[in-house]
Structure 1
């Protein structure tokens, strides 16, 4: 049982360190690969945490199914029932928070599509009248295909080639389905507080992914950098209070993004220290999830062992 307790503590504590590891790993990878790493890490750690809670919650029920008297279970592990109650309460809170978070996501999209109704449609582009300077990728909603929402003020603030960068950037968000990455990590952050730090990191790398795609379309990294800087300076965009902002060229750490575009295009490390470090960091993230799943399995095996002991009497 000591082994199971060690796994439980490890499974619940490791995500704090694993989240930092995932962010560092993302920092040495190109934006596209970084986004996949952060999203996969969030899913693994959230899934592991849920596995631990389910394992704790099911101990008394598994004991009853195996016809093991609850007093016998409490003799070996006195905290079995309190732990099951705590785990059940935490899972209930998680379900409520997940539903609330999902509702906020849908509310943000619904509001954005209401704004798109008053705009002029040009293919996948919706131009909204007004002096506000704003632009964002509008994911598909209720059967409607994704659109790029741009205000007249934003178009006036940019030069012709910079407009190309803007549109290519937002199209990259849509074609790459970046809103799904953002939503997945945002929901995972509800499961374990350690994963909240991954949201900001993912947002930065999603914007970097779209930046690189836009630079490739226009064929000039300096023009892309200038467009992003000008759009951010002119933007009047306000972050919504839901914590789930729509993907926009003006979000994230703009100075870092501009600086990255003034450097050569990033490549995936192929050999040497970078590759070894990336593999090692990825392994650390996986270990945290494996520990969580192993702890849940260990709890099940503990009940099985208790059942065999009772039958052998």
Structure 2
């Protein structure tokens, strides 16, 4: 059963290859395309990992269907039951971590809304009093619609035109539901450590996506770049006591974001480049999925083989 053991290792290791290929691909895509690519890759890679673990955990179950004693299973593949137990334990840990992470998301959102309740404003903007310099997109919660939360310290730090950029940036986060994309990848990162790299990349590309939409609203990329830079500098000098890691104009690698805004607007990828990039990503993800399916098939064939051997030994 050496080949099954190799499949186990390959299936659980392939997400690293998928993460590396995705990372290289998204750097050549516009922010919107890059963000959706990262989300899709994270979901598919997490799904492949879970499929492999489910296949491993079902070895004893498959053996019982064939009325095959576990002692016979261990004779041919001594690692079968230990790996099945390890896979089951790992899935249980993953489930607990996903639930814990989801609770953290909800708790974070609740605390942010408590802060927002101190603010005043009109329409979708709330200005919170205080010396802290911060601004973030606050998703809807318990029937309340999403709002843009800005501290009075941030308002004082920016010029009127720059404030317009900031508000447009945060509104883009809300209207495009970036918090959902971020949450999906954040939860998927619990499943496999390789996906954590995709999560970090997604933060940058979501901010770039909102930057581009804000620049389009104000009609001046240089003003947008100046606003992002000034907001980040002002935010870095404040205490940021709240410390909420929500979608904010001051998060992500700000120098790279400012540099991108000083360049022409990125164009959608051409047909050939788009097909090549999507094909490379699809190949990596498909390889992971095929390995998971091959693992499941190999386990099934192994149980069938062991059952035939047992029947042959009994008849002999």
Q: So what's the TM-score if we normalise by structure 1?
A: 0.92
**Which residue pairs with 1:4 in the alignment?**
4
Q: Tell me the equivalent position of 2:276.
A: 276
Cα displacement (A) at 1:300: 3.0
Offset, 1:308: 5.1
Q: TM-score, normalised by structure 2?
A: 0.92
- Cα contact 2:231–2:250 (8 A) shared by 1: yes
Q: Counterparts of 1:40 and 1:271 in 2: how far apart (Å)?
A: 20
1:28–1:274 contact (8 Å) kept in structure 2: no
Post-superposition offset of 1:188: 1.2
CA contact (8 A) 2:49 2:292 kept: yes
Q: Is the 8 A contact 1:25 1:282 kept in 2?
A: no
Instruction: Measure the CA separation in 1 of the matches of 2:210 and 2:294.
Output: 38
Match of 2:182 in 1: 182
User: Which position in structure 2 is the counterpart of 1:80?
Assistant: 80
1:232 alignment counterpart: 232
3-state SS, counterpart of residue 169 of structure 1 = helix
Once the two structures are TM-superposed, the CA of residue 5 in structure 1 deviates from its matched residue by 2.7
Kindly state the Cα deviation for residue 239 of structure 1 after the two structures are TM-superposed. Answer: 8.7
Q: How does 1:101-112 map to 2 (within 5 A)?
A: 101-112=101-112
Task: Could you tell me which runs of 5 or more consecutive residues in structure 2 were left unpaired when the two chains were aligned.
Answer: none
**DSSP 3-state at the match of 2:130:** coil
How far apart are the structure 1 equivalents of 2:241 and 2:175?
23
Q: CA deviation at 1:224?
A: 0.7
Q: Which structure 2 residues correspond to residues 131-142 of structure 1 after superposition, within 5 A?
A: 131-142=131-142
User: Helix, strand or coil: the match of 2:264?
Assistant: coil
Q: For the Cα contact (< 8 Å) 1:57–1:88, is it kept in 2?
A: yes
Please report the RMSD computed on the Cα atoms of aligned residues, expressed in angstroms: 2.0
Compared with structure 1, are the counterparts of its residues 128 and 26 closer, same or farther at alpha carbon in structure 2 (3 Å cutoff)? same
Contact 1:55/1:299 (<8 A) preserved:
yes
**1:130–1:153 Cα contact (<8 Å) kept:** yes
Mean Cα deviation higher: 33-42 or 270-279: 270-279
Unaligned segments of structure 1, at least 5 residues: none
Contact preservation (8 Å) 1:55, 1:300:
no
Q: Cα–Cα, structure 1 residues 8 and 119, in superposed 2: closer, same or farther, change >3 Å?
A: same
Counterpart CA distance in 1 for 2:7 and 2:102 is 31
Where 2:121 maps in the other structure, the secondary structure is strand
Distance 1:162 1:212 in 2: 14
- For 1:38, the equivalent position in structure 2 comes to 38
C-alpha deviations, 1:238-265, integer Å up to 9, x for none?
4978xx8200000000000000011111
Partner SS state of residue 191, structure 1: coil
Instruction: Give the distance between the partners of 1:91 and 1:65, measured in 2 at CA.
Output: 22
Verify the 8 A CA contact 1:21 1:285 in the aligned structure 2.
no
Partner of 1:245: 245
Which whole-Å CA distance do the structure 2 matches of 1:114 and 1:277 have between them? 43
Residue 120 of structure 1 aligns to a residue in which SS?
Answer: coil
Counterpart of 2:294?
A: 294
